[in-house]
Amino acid sequence: MAKLVPQNHPVLHTTAVEVTPEEFSNGTVTKLIKDMRQALHGYSVDGFTAVAIAAPQIGVGKRVFIIEDQSKDRDALPSFVAINPQIVKFSKKTHEVGEGCLSIPEYYGLVKRSTNVTLKAQDEQGNWFERGAGNLLAQIIQHEYDHLDGILFTDRATKVWHKDELKKEKKTMT
């Protein structure tokens, strides 16, 4: 079973390479996505489940990420695989949003993100698609895309907190 690599693993700090046509046809893509889903579904820290994962997070330097909301919420995020993705448009409007990461489970931070993006990518069969995204989905796409460029959210964060600091802060607010 695929496991998350530690925060200091070199693949998390390196630009991932594109998936080749051969990797679509020889089963490499299918196996990679299966391994990524196993790691995603196996994640649970402090009662939180994961909604997305990028290939570098399991030690594979390929340009692949998946979004798969595991909540039973009616308003769950759409599930999809993005292979060789490109963000072809960023909105000028931005906002500062809270983020966490499977690769850095002890920390949370504030990151400035575009409120809307347009993504172009290949699906599991290698077919190209394009889709727009706003708000939380746009944030997740940007976060996962950063992983493919060797960027962690803490590299972009304007402020970072250890989870224990947040727990103390919550207690003082109640």
Catalytic residue IDs: 144
**Is 141:53 a contact under the CB 8 Å cutoff?**
no
For CA atoms 20, 126, 77, 50, the dihedral sign is: negative
CA distance 138 to 159: 20
- Which distant-in-sequence residues (6+ apart) come within 8 Å of 130 by Cβ? 88, 118, 119, 120
